[in-house]
Amino acid sequence: MQNPPRAVERPQTLESFGDRREDPYFYFRDREDPAVMAYIQAENAYAAAEMGQWGGLEEEIYQDMLGRIEQTDMSVPSRFEGYFYYTRTEEGKQYSILARKKGTIDGEEEVLLDSNELARGRKFFSLGLTAMSPDQMQLAYATDTTGYREYKLEIRDLRTGGNLADVIEKVASVVWAEDGETLFYSREQERTKRSYQVWRHRVGRPVEEDVLVYEESDERFRVGIGKTLSKGYLVLTASSGKTSEARVLDARRPEGEFRLVLPRREGISYGLTHHGWHFYLRINDTARDFRVARMQVEGGELEEVIAPAAGQYVQGMVHLERHAVYLMRLEGLPSLRVVEMGTGAWHEIAFEEAAYSLGFGSNAEFHTDLIRFQYSSMVTPQSTFDYNLVSRERVLLKQQKVLGGYDAGAYAVERTAAESVDGVRVPMTIAYRKGLARDGSGRALLYGYGSYAIAIDPGFSASRLALLDRGFAYAIAHIRGGTDLGYSWYEDGKLLRKKNTFSDFIACAEKLVKEGYAAPERLVIEGASAGGLLVGAVMNERPELFGAVIAGVPFVDVISTLEDKSIPLSTTDIDEFGDPEREEFYHYMKTYSPYDNVGEREYPALYIYTSLNDSQVGYWEPVKWAAKLRKHQRGARKILLQVNLEAGHGGASGRYDRLRELARCYAFAIAETGAAPVDRRRA
């Protein structure tokens, strides 16, 4: 049996506000240091050896999950300007193919981009943003070939199939002006990866002639560029974690100047769209959970369209020619509200399940009475609908096929709540196979995130069946820090209230144990990125409550990372976690930062995965966290670290490779809890 690696310590003292922190693994951020790469290789070898003792479990899980999905598949075509656009996959190929048909879906296929060809010979490939020119004859697209999320923009002439000479590096967003000859794009800084500039480019002209139209000087803010669905205006946004503003330009006059809509006010965020003589704004100036207001295109006062209300969160909006559709959250559950633009009359689109995921689909046309949305739940596969806003007819266009004889009736979903330490009730959604015993003998996996205003809705996953069929309950904790119960729910889990996120998650875990879903030694918790911060923090606070932990690309060295403003996200994350250069935030962060709170404890089993080219969370954070944990581990449970040497924050780029990474996580959960053999009765 291979011994776990032990990292060499190099004394390093970090001091702030008279407080000293010892970090003997600080040097891990130097990837040019041979000792660093040698240690990473040793960790990978150790993890591989330990996983080899699972007796083929990982491959079994992978084949189980692969057998559930339709490998040759096609998305629902989206109609735009006389064409039907879609993506499709082919069995055995890692990447999707972007294609279209002219006039009718039964027409001849035109392949626009085959990512399998673009990725040929590369260990990593990601197709990022795409933007079609107004005449549908030029496609701007961006690709990343390192995993560092550093995208290169190119333009394909769809008449010839060849690319133009125009190549632009470090592009974060792009949009065409309506003249079909001008592109606007935002560009990132070299080191921090903050999108801080917007440029104007004339197709066919040298990039050196591009014109800078906006530069953001406040390091907390990122900029982006887009276009309203009406095609009337280009919209340039600048936003931080709590403040935003927008500038607009007539999309037919790209040589003009962007005009500020509402100046930024600290703590006020808004987004806008265009309809007729008005801009419609989703804004939180009078209520934290947003309202909808409109103003004349030329400027003026705001006129309220949807007033704020208790338990109501305005999450998004789409304005069509005759209707507006708003994505709302009502007492935590997503809903769609349809409003007639002419009369103001409105109705809700109803959904019956107790917990579900709902969002807008591809809505590319303005002159239509159809709205496309996507719906799923933990037992209902992903479903794409077109809804007629006049007749109110709902048409199911496609439901995800789940191979292997899937029977939704074999599974159950519950919506419950746990009481956090401050008395706040925290929602939790739980799925399991019917017949699951509630005597503590079962297994459970609890997933959480709780940051950046991201709601974790209980959607469907065919891969998750590999756990449910082996006796697991799968639970999602809708904790503060996300917008699961609105924007105020997010604000109550950030900055100096960040620890509410962790308390909420612990409360959900305790409820699972109390109600007999799993004993602590058979309870697995999982989180990635900021979710890795979550599981790292609660693992320090309550190590006895969990049997195993899965931490993906975990943000665990909070203070040191946010102190270094050259690290990507460090400046923009100040509005999320606070600034450690301010004493109040420094001391608060130190109470929960996972790396700084590792101590002599009996930790649960831990599987950490990360990537060498991660631009969001530096690889050194999880690597040195693993080294420190192993030094202080007082129990017998193993700590495994796996570093993908070819990928970035999202892991492997190919769909089969990503599935293998997920299979590894599930195999770890099963191996560490001794889950029951697969049960596919009625499935």
Our CA dihedral for 254, 256, 262, 265, rounded to 10 degrees, sits at: 90
Instruction: Give the three-class secondary structure for 336.
Output: strand
Sign of CA dihedral 447, 451, 457, 461: negative
Instruction: Give the three-class secondary structure for 190.
Output: coil
Nearest-angstrom CA–CA distance, 672 and 522: 8
Q: Which of 241, 173, 223 is nearest to 453 (CA)?
A: 241
Tokens of 581: 């250069």
| Predicted pLDDT of residue 679 | 65
Query: Would you list the DSSP string of 163-177?
Result: EEEEEESSEEEEEE-
| Predicted pLDDT of residue 205 | 96
| 72: Cβ contacts below 8 Å, ≥ 6 apart | 88, 89, 90, 91
Nearest-angstrom CA–CA distance, 610 and 529: 9
Element housing 665 (H / E): helix 655-673
The residue from 376, 504, 614, 615 that is catalytic is 614
Taking residue 228's Cβ as centre, other Cβ atoms within 10 Å add up to 19
The residue from 96, 377, 463, 529 that is catalytic is 529
Residue type at 209?
E
| Residue ranges per structural domain of the chain | 13-66+410-673, 309-403
- Selected from 3.90.650.10, 3.40.50.1220, 3.50.50.60, 3.40.50.1820, the CATH number assigned to the domain covering 13-66+410-673 reads 3.40.50.1820
> Across the 683 residues of the chain, what is the mean pLDDT of every consecutive 10-residue run?
90 96 96 96 97 94 97 96 97 98 96 98 96 97 96 97 97 98 96 95 97 97 98 97 97 98 97 98 97 97 96 97 97 96 95 95 96 98 98 98 96 97 98 96 97 97 97 98 97 98 98 97 98 98 98 98 91 95 98 98 97 96 98 95 96 96 97 74 38
| Predicted pLDDT of residue 683 | 36
Burial class (CB in 10 A: 0-12, 13-18, 19+), 311: exposed
Nearest-angstrom CA–CA distance, 556 and 560: 10
| Predicted pLDDT of residue 675 | 65
Does the active-site annotation cover 649?
A: yes
Give Cα separations from 357 to 335, 378, 388, 417, 602 (angstroms).
10, 9, 20, 18, 37
Q: Which of 31, 10, 30 is nearest to 22 (CA)?
A: 10
* Pairs from 390-393 (Cβ < 8 Å, separation ≥ 24): 392/347
pTM score of the predicted model? 0.96
Token pair 């100096």 is at which residue?
496
Q: Which of 603, 642, 602 is nearest to 622 (CA)?
A: 642
Nearest-angstrom CA–CA distance, 360 and 329: 13
Give the burial string for 390-410 (b: 16+ CB within 10 Å, else e).
eeeeeeeebebebeeebeeeb
Give the burial string for 553-590 (b: 16+ CB within 10 Å, else e).
bbbbbbbbbbbeeebbbbbbbbbbbbbbeeeebbebbb
Instruction: Give the three-class secondary structure for 362.
Output: coil
Residue type at 595?
Y
Q: What is the DSSP letter of 615?
A: S
Nearest-angstrom CA–CA distance, 511 and 643: 34
Tokens of 552: 């993906």
Under 8 Å between Cβ of 181 and 202: yes
